[in-house]
Amino acid sequence: MDDFYSPVAEYYDLVARAHSEGDTVLRERLAATALNGEPILDLGAGTGRTVAAIAESVPQCDILAVEPAPAMRAVLMHRVVNDPHLRQRVTVVAEPVDKLHLPDKLGAVVAYGVLGHLCREKRQQLWQLLLPRLSAGAPIFVELLPLEKPIVLPAFPLACETVGKRHYTASLQGEPGPDDTMLLTSCWTIRGGPCPAQVIRNQSVWHTFSLAELAQETRLRAERLTAQAGVLYA
Ligand SMILES: C[S@@+](CC[C@H](N)C(=O)[O-])C[C@H]1O[C@@H](n2cnc3c(N)ncnc32)[C@H](O)[C@@H]1O
Distance from the CA of 199 to the center of ligand 1, in angstroms? 23
Q: Between vectors from CA 126 to CA 121 and to CA 128, what angle results, nearest 5°? A: 95
pLDDT, the chain, mean = 96
* Arithmetic mean of pLDDT, 151-169: 96
**CB-ligand 1 contact for 66 (6 Å cutoff):** yes
Beta-bridge mates of residue 160: 169
* Arithmetic mean of pLDDT, 164-173: 97
CB-based contacts of 197, cutoff 8 Å, min separation 6 = 189, 190, 191
**CB-ligand 1 contact for 48 (6 Å cutoff):** no
CATH architecture of 153-207: Single Sheet (2.20)
Share of the chain above pLDDT 70, in %: 99
- Rounded distance between C-alpha atoms, residue 234 and residue 232, angstroms: 7
Beta-bridge mates of residue 166: 163
**Domain locations in the chain as residue ranges:** 6-144+209-233, 153-207
Confidence at 18, pLDDT banded by 50, 70, 90? low
Report DSSP state, residue 184.
E
Pocket test for ligand 1, best of 11, 80, 117 (most atoms within 8 A of CB): 117
CATH superfamily placement of domain 6-144+209-233: Vaccinia Virus protein VP39 (3.40.50.150)
- Residues 123-155 have pLDDT tens digits of 999 999 999 999 999 999 999 999 999 999 999
